Structure 1
Amino acid sequence: MESTLSPMRRGRVLITAKSVAGSPQALKLIEQAGHEVMVKDPPLPFDEQWLIDQAREVDALVLAMEPVTSRLLDAVSRLKVIARPGVGYDTVDLEAASRRGVLVTVASGTNDQSVADFTFGLLLQATRAIAIAADSVRQGRWDRVTGTEAWGKTLAIVGLGRIGKAVAKRARGFDMRVLAVSRNTDDAFAREQGITFVSLEEALREADFVSLHAPLTPDTQDLINTRTLAWFKPGAYLINTSRGGLVDEQALAEAVRGGHLAGAAVDVLKAQGAGSQSPLINVPGIVVTPHMATFTRESMDRVALSVARSVIAVLQGQRPEHIVNPAALEAAGL
């Protein structure tokens, strides 16, 4: 049987992800491989029909957080690859993509350091209110804020993948005790970095800071909820640079308002974008940033080039790196 991923003379690549669309080097790489690049700005709020209409005659999709549903996949018969410029893929109906032989790839290993830097930036902002104090000076005041030291405290990392490991390495510079909750235990790394693997309940009860780095799955949906928030050490802080769906936002807002948690800092929400009605926004003690942890020049260059290489590989009939649905390979004839 002829592979559905046989090399093509000219493929069509639809890009809505700004991190890739803004990389001349990545766009040039795709074009030099002989493929047509179409850069589009999706409407806000998201309109699935718009994406279906744009994607009907394309071979590759490079999307940001737009959901890829079974309905969309039914409508795009030429589609061969969905390349995500990040490490999350919870917005894609993976089972439907696999049935249709559509490969889904991520940009693993490209944004670890940027997200880890940002995680500690959020941690320090949460504890020291740096932006609030700087804003008071900007407004002609001189409001000093008494904060909490990070030095020597206990940090719990939930999800010890690439980003979690990068955060753990930074914690050593703060002389922190590091606990980890992870399905996959890298014992050699844990010994090297002085990390102790514990249960989620033990981590939350002992940590001064809890940093989330787990993928969003049915098992981790609302992992931080009313029940697990009660396990938190009084006065602790929650940091989330992973996925908004890991947190019951209303429960977190109430935990901070009620004083059980000293604060929280999140870069991700369940409903993202301008005009979000998240209950975490404008809560005193909760810092919310617009999903920008990966936004460094270095990281965005790596991400964009990784995406471009994945798209080119698939359109040349080759297996790309970082496939998240290997079950699609058989349906695709590979």
Structure 2
Amino acid sequence: MTVQIAVIDDWQDVAREVVEWSVLENVGEVSFVHDYPADNETLAERLGAYEVICVMRERTRFDEDLLRRLPKLKLLVTGGMRNAALDFKAAAALGIQVCGTDSYKHAAPELTWALIMAATRNLVVEANALRAGQWQQGLGGDLHGKTLAILGLGSIGKRVAQFGQVFGMRVIAWSENLTSDAAAEVGVTYVSKQELFEQADVLSVHLVLSERSRGLVDAQALDWMKPTALLVNTARGPIVDEAALIKALQKNRLAGAALDVFEVEPLPEHHPFRTLENVLATPHVGYVSRQNYHLFFSQMIEDIQAWSVGNPIRQLT
């Protein structure tokens, strides 16, 4: 019997082109579904026929209710080895295997630095002005000699710290698990949480979303920051208290924010981040690169092939 395989969350409709899915012909039939997430009833109707579903990071939420509405589902494959939108406990209880993939480690740090550069030099405004027949709208900022504050010095945070060092910035860092010795190993100065926010000219968020990190960048932390500072978030939206950030930006208590992640994605149509002049916002493209997608989808295929012969790999449940 042919296994029905769905590739969902393909909002750009690019998955079929990035890798060669025909290698799964001896396993089953692959369908590409690039609709946005919906309510569980709609999702159950859309996905009820599939035994294998490939998902992209945290775009569609698979909670216990939805998983119970999908009795044919046997395998979930996610891009990356972490996905907060999947209820792993419920999947295990229902006998649904969950497998992941590796990630291309350079995509998110490179996007982070692109946002820092673009926001600092006001590149979007200047480029749009030129297209409109205008010339030199204002003064860009500078990075050399300024302080780059890293909230979370993991693999991505370390890479961004290296970029800052190359640009002649002083780099400081803090997280609840970070030590001064670990920071010093990569040439970074360990500071307290309050010092991190107070001293930052650019503060970049690089934490994993957890109950401990949710809302960590709150109104108090934003109040500590200089009115000339830039906040950058390419990690996860809920790490920053969105309401507090909007208020700070509206009152110009911060120079600006460069954001790739949001509390609700896709970003609602009339959200303030779409119109605030001191916000540079991109639609969660930190991991959306050709090389990363090729890695995700090629390893999804490997996961399906291994599962089909009873030897699952990269298991998350």
- Shorter chain as denominator, the TM-score bin is 0.7 to 0.9
Contact 1:249 1:279 in 2 (8 A): no
Q: Give the residue type in structure 1 aligned to 2:91.
A: A
Percent identity of paired positions between Structure 1 and Structure 2: 29
For 1:254 and 1:87, locate their aligned partners in 2 and report how far apart those are by CA, in whole Å. 35
- Could you list the per-position Cα deviations for residues 268-315 of structure 1 after superposition, in whole angstroms to 9, with x for gaps in the alignment? 112222643333221121111111122222222122223322333333
Counterpart of 2:269 in 1: which secondary structure? Answer: coil
User: Alignment partner of 2:226: what SS?
Assistant: coil
Q: Which residue matches 1:55?
A: 47
- Shift in Å, 1:145: 2.0
Aligned to 1:137: 130
3-state SS in 2 of match to 1:68: coil
State whether residues 11 and 315 of structure 1, in contact with CA within 8 Å, keep that contact through their aligned partners in structure 2: no
**Secondary structure, counterpart of 2:274 in structure 1:** coil
Structure 1 Cα separation of the partners of residues 15 and 29 of structure 2:
13
Question: Following superposition of structure 1 onto structure 2, how do residues 267-278 of structure 1 map, counting pairs within 5 Å?
Answer: 267-273=260-266, 275-278=268-271
Residue equivalent to 2:8:
16
- Give the Å deviation of 1:70: 0.9
Specify the code of the residue in structure 2 equivalent to 1:157: I
User: For the structure 1 residues 219 and 26, does the alpha-carbon distance in structure 2 shift closer, same or farther, using more than 3 Å as the test?
Assistant: farther
Task: Give the root-mean-square deviation of aligned CA atoms.
Answer: 2.6
Distance 2:176 2:310 in 1: 34
Normalised TM-score (structure 1)? 0.83
Provide Cα deviations, 1:15-51, integer angstroms capped at 9, x if missing partner.
Answer: 113277234525234x155232111122x56232232
- 231, 234, 238: which is aligned to 1:241? 234
In the alignment, the residues of structure 1 paired with residue 205 and residue 81 of structure 2 have an alpha-carbon distance, to the nearest angstrom, of 14
Q: Alignment partner of 2:101: what SS?
A: coil
Question: Does 211-220 or 191-200 show the bigger shift?
Answer: 191-200
Q: Which amino acid aligns with 1:100?
A: L
- 237-246 or 181-190, which deviates more: 181-190
CA distance in 1, matches of 2:174, 2:74: 36
Q: Is the 8 A contact 2:27 2:305 kept in 1?
A: no
Cα distance in structure 1, aligned partners of 2:221 and 2:257 = 15
**1:303 counterpart (290, 296, 311):** 296
In 1, the alpha carbon distance for the partners of 2:241 and 2:226 equals 18
- Whole-Å separation in 2 of the counterparts to 1:99 and 1:194: 46
Within-5 A mapping of 1:49-128 = 49-64=41-56, 65-86=59-80, 88-110=82-104, 112-128=105-121
Gaps of 5+ in 2: none
Confirm whether residue 180 of structure 1 aligns to residue 151 of structure 2.
no
Residue from 277, 281, 306 that aligns with 1:288: 281
- DSSP 3-state at the match of 2:272: coil
> Structure 1, unaligned stretches of length 5 or more?
1-8, 329-334
Is the 8 Å Cα contact of residues 17 and 85 (structure 1) preserved in structure 2? no
Q: Partners in 1 of 2:310 and 2:194 — Cα distance?
A: 47
